[in-house]
Amino acid sequence: MRGDSGNGRAGAVLAGVLALSMLAGPVTAKEEFSGHFQLNGDIVPLAEDGIHDPENEAINVLQSPAEAMLDFPRDEWGIIDWVKTLNAGLIAPRTGLTGMERMHTVDFDVIFRNTASMPYVRFPHKPHTQWLTCKNCHPSIFIPQRGANPVTMAAIMSGEYCGVCHGKVAFPPYECKRCHREPREDTGLRY
Ligand code: HEC
Ligand code: HEC
Ligand code: HEC
């Protein structure tokens, strides 16, 4: 069973983490994401956010996120809602290295229906292509064909598919409702 050792280890680590978190009570958004996502009310110096290099002297001239992002809209987890921030015109990201590049925005959604008893997932192209190019996702993360990608929550949680970005540069996979927001056709009372 040598080939399995990687998975076995991951499984053991996961079981350990679960056991620990059960002892300690559930991990809150604040504990899990405070440094990285600069949650509402947090003042996390850049040198301590786990992303920036504390040894680099530029760290001292960068504006503090708490000041720069003071008025940005936040979601119910206290994480900045970048889609609203962009749409409100509070930021104007450069399109590329020179700023002369053009964004190619497309506006169509894909509904994922393999969601067990959860509401369906609505994947919107528009807010994604306001930040990203097609090549960021196609074809390496997603084959551009409806239903062609075997996406599961386990894969997302381990950093694949949506999880390549969500949890790292976009809101984390723990915010179920921001993805699972499309009402199912088959809910409601059954007689
Ligand atoms: C970043 C978007 C996103 C978030 C956030 C998210 N999901 Fe999902 N979820 C998906 C996608 C995409 C699928 C795949 C659906 C498909 O293949 O049709 C999925 C599938 C599922 C499934 C069925 C398949 C499986 O792997 O079990 C369940 C159950 C599920 N999600 C539960 C959750 C729960 C609970 C949360 C919050 C803790 C959550 N999801 C958060 C995108 C998301
Ligand atoms: C953030 C990731 C992401 C970006 C960026 C992105 N897409 Fe997609 N695209 C998806 C996902 C997810 C699907 C659904 C795949 C599935 O159903 O398995 C999809 C599906 C598609 C499909 C198939 C639709 C169908 O009905 O079969 C096309 C065509 C497509 N994308 C074109 C584009 C183009 C053109 C761009 C750039 C302007 C783009 N996408 C940018 C994630 C992305
Ligand atoms: C290549 C990176 C990337 C991938 C892959 C990706 N996303 Fe996103 N997503 C983003 C970014 C960046 C944003 C905007 C920032 C934010 O909201 O945190 C975003 C925003 C969203 C939003 C918020 C839209 C709104 O109007 O508020 C939803 C919903 C979403 N993504 C769902 C998904 C689902 C479902 C998948 C997988 C099928 C996925 N994303 C894959 C980067 C990605």
Assess whether the C-beta atom of 178 lies below 6 angstroms from ligand 3.
yes
Indicate whether this model's pTM tops 0.85: yes
Q: Which residue has the tokens 């927001």?
A: 181
Q: How far is the CA of 11 from the centre of ligand 3 (A)?
A: 27
Average pLDDT over residues 174-184: 94
pLDDT in tens, 137-151: 999 999 999 999 999
Average pLDDT over residues 56-69: 89
Q: Domain boundary at 17, 39, 72, which?
A: 72
**Residue 109 β-bridge partners:** 124
In a domain, 179, yes or no: yes
Same domain, 123 and 53: no
Tell me which residue range forms the domain holding 32.
Answer: 1-72
Higher pLDDT, 146 or 40: 146
* Nearest one of 61, 67, 64, 70 to 49, comparing CA atoms: 64
Among all ligands shown, which has an atom nearest to the Cα of 169?
3
pLDDT in tens, 96-121: 899 999 999 999 999 999 999 999 99
Q: State both tokens at 14.
A: 């996961």
Alpha-helical segments (H) within 79-147? 82-87, 125-129, 134-137
Q: How far is the CA of 165 from the centre of ligand 3 (A)?
A: 7
